[in-house]
Amino acid sequence: MLEQLNEIEKSALESLQSVTDESALEVWRVSHLGRSSPLMTVFAGLGKLSKEERPVVGSGANRVKVALESALEERVKVVKEAALAKSLEEESLDVTLPGRGIHVGRLHPSTQQLRKVMSILADMGFQVYTSREVETDEINFQLLNFPPNHPARDMQDTFFVEADGRGDNPILLRTHTSPGQIHAMREYAKLNPDNPPPIRIALPGMCFRNEQITARSEIQFNQVEGLVVGENITFADLKGTLADFARRMFGQGARVRFRASYFPFTEPSAEVDVECFVCGGKGCSVCKNSGWLEILGCGMVHPVVLQNGGYDPARYSGFAWGMGPERQLMLRYKIDDIRYFWGNDLRFLEQF
């Protein structure tokens, strides 16, 4: 058996010297180190040997295997170096040809729109305030005037993460940026509990809703919340602020209109439309021939929400709104499927 192993090693090494390309190397490997090779047959027959012969033959077989693998590794290096040398000698390289262009990265369209929105609000005197994406039911719903089992909760399907042990205040992914209102008001109120300072902030962030993904709905989306709290704040202040925002975003000639709506955390509540910037209000497929495009929901902060935030509703008032940057992009560029934003298709993303 040991003589057979020596013969296998000698024959394999001799045949390896004549191999000159990578395909022939693979053929050699299969023939001499593959499952059906003579060497592997020796390994397969170790069980039939006596206890005295088995370690001797096994050691010899392992030695041959290591020797063949080392020889193959060295031959691979030699063959690759020879192929490279041949390529450099025979193939020509035109150094006058222009080089390949560098693929330059860019900001995601949602990020571009989000930055544009925040830049406009910053010019209008709003400070950026960020809050966490993982919330409790209390902050996300209850303190925003969504009592448990309130039918308005059906407006927002929720991703619940886990219960925190009490059963009535589970952990969830925020369904809107409005919980940031509570965090912000409480943080400002701590500065001076007897005389809380006024607030003028914008809260950008990602929201999550457990909805069926369609062309018009996604399970995640960006939102920008606006919050103004102070003394003698009126609905006229809200209208003036949003009308100014619309002119800065959509052009100085942009017109807006307010329609009555309902949100548990604002009273009164409204939805805001901007005159269609595609057709100029004449009616087209983008605005569904109405001449108007919905851009956000808003309203005066509900007294219960003010009180939960640490502000006395008898003294303070305020307004808030929520807008979606992706929706503004869809309206501006006639994008008919919201799934494009998170599909990572470069054909779509590189247009922005």
pLDDT digits (tens, 9 = 90+) for 127-149: 999 999 999 999 999 999 988 87
- Residues 86 and 117 reside in one and the same domain: no
- Residues 68 and 142 reside in one and the same domain: no
Per the structure, the complete domain to which residue 183 belongs is given by 109-349
- For residue 268, what is the domain's CATH number? 3.30.930.10
- Residues 171 and 53 reside in one and the same domain: no
Task: Give the pLDDT confidence score for residue 167 in this predicted structure.
Answer: 65
Percent of the chain residues past pLDDT 90, beyond the cut: 41
Domain end, chosen from 36, 58, 90, is at 90
Instruction: Answer yes or no: is 103 within a domain.
Output: no
- 165, pLDDT greater than 60: no
- Residues 168 and 316 reside in one and the same domain: yes
Among the listed residues 107, 106, 303, 334, the one whose alpha carbon sits nearest the alpha carbon of residue 222: 107
Per-residue pLDDT tens digits for 12-40: 888 888 888 888 888 888 888 888 888 88
- Residues 171 and 31 reside in one and the same domain: no
Instruction: Answer yes or no: is 97 within a domain.
Output: no
Average pLDDT across the chain, whole number: 88
Statement: the pTM of the whole predicted model exceeds 0.85: no
Q: What domain count does the chain have?
A: 2
Domain end, chosen from 90, 123, 146, is at 90
Domain end, chosen from 90, 123, 142, is at 90
- Residues 69 and 41 reside in one and the same domain: yes
109 by Cβ neighbours in 10 Å (0-12 / 13-18 / 19+) ranks as: buried
- Residues 190 and 289 reside in one and the same domain: yes
Task: Give the pLDDT confidence score for residue 54 in this predicted structure.
Answer: 83
Per-residue pLDDT tens digits for 198-218: 999 999 999 998 888 887 778
Task: Give the pLDDT confidence score for residue 163 in this predicted structure.
Answer: 56
- Mean of the pLDDT values across residues 64-81? 89
- Residues 126 and 266 reside in one and the same domain: yes
- Mean of the pLDDT values across residues 76-95? 84
- 84, pLDDT greater than 90: no
- 166, pLDDT greater than 70: no
Per-residue pLDDT tens digits for 94-126: 778 888 888 888 899 999 999 999 999 999 999
- Residues 228 and 281 reside in one and the same domain: yes
- Residues 60 and 161 reside in one and the same domain: no
- Residues 82 and 113 reside in one and the same domain: no
Instruction: Answer yes or no: is 184 within a domain.
Output: yes
Q: Which residue has the higher pLDDT, 115 or 156?
A: 115
- 51, pLDDT greater than 50: yes
